[in-house]
Amino acid sequence: KPGERVVVTQLDHDGNVTPWTLAAADAGVEVATVRVDPADATLDVDDFRRQVTAGTRLVALTCASNAVGSKPPIEELIAIAHEVGAEVYLDAVHYAPHGLIDVQAWEADYCVCSAYKFFGPQVGMLWGRLERLEALTAYKLRPAPQHSPGKWMTGTPNFAAIAGVVAAINYIASIGQRLEDDSKSEGQSVQLSRRDAIRHAFAAIDVYERELLERLIAGLQAIEGVTVYGITDPARFSQRVPTVACTLVGLPATQVAKALGDQGIFCWDGNYYAVDICRVLGQSEQGMVRLGILHTTTAQEIDRTLAAIARLQQSASVGS
Which range has the worst mean pLDDT, 27-41, 149-163, 224-238? 149-163
Q: Which pLDDT score, from 0 to 100, does residue 189 have?
A: 74
Q: Which pLDDT score, from 0 to 100, does residue 184 have?
A: 80
The mean of the pLDDT values for the chain is: 96
Q: Do residues 168 and 120 touch, judged by C-beta distance below 8 A?
A: yes
The C-alpha atoms of residue 71 and residue 68 are separated, in whole angstroms, by: 9
Which range has the worst mean pLDDT, 2-6, 152-156, 217-221, 293-297? 152-156
Q: What is the value of pTM for the model shown?
A: 0.95
Give the closest residue to 204 by CA, choosing from 291, 295, 118.
Answer: 295
Question: Residue 172 in 3-state DSSP?
Answer: helix
Q: How does pLDDT run across 123-134, given as a tens digit for each residue? A: 999 999 999 999
Asked whether the predicted pLDDT for residue 319 surpasses 70, the reply is no
Confidence class for position 1, pLDDT limits 50, 70, 90: confident
Q: Do residues 98 and 64 touch, judged by C-beta distance below 8 A?
A: yes
The C-alpha atoms of residue 238 and residue 231 are separated, in whole angstroms, by: 10
β-sheet bridge partners, residue 7: 32, 59
Q: Which pLDDT score, from 0 to 100, does residue 318 have?
A: 64
Q: Which is higher by pLDDT, 64 or 186?
A: 64
Question: Residue 318 in 3-state DSSP?
Answer: helix
Asked whether the predicted pLDDT for residue 210 surpasses 80, the reply is yes
Mean pLDDT, rounded, for 243-269: 97
The C-alpha atoms of residue 312 and residue 152 are separated, in whole angstroms, by: 49
CATH number of 5-141: 3.40.640.10
Asked whether the predicted pLDDT for residue 301 surpasses 90, the reply is yes
Confidence class for position 315, pLDDT limits 50, 70, 90: confident
Q: How does pLDDT run across 6-16, given as a tens digit for each residue? A: 999 999 999 99
What is the residue extent of each domain of the chain? 5-141, 209-319
Percent of the chain with pLDDT over 90: 91
Asked whether the predicted pLDDT for residue 71 surpasses 90, the reply is yes
Three-state SS string over 244-291 comes to EEEEECCECHHHHHHHHHHCCCCCEEECCCCHHHHHHCCCCCCCEEEE
Q: How does pLDDT run across 29-58, given as a tens digit for each residue? A: 999 999 999 999 999 999 999 999 999 999
**Is CATH 3.90.1150.10 correct for 209-319?**
yes
Q: Which pLDDT score, from 0 to 100, does residue 320 have?
A: 56
- Helix, strand, coil percentages (3-state) for the chain, rounded to 5, are 45, 20, 40
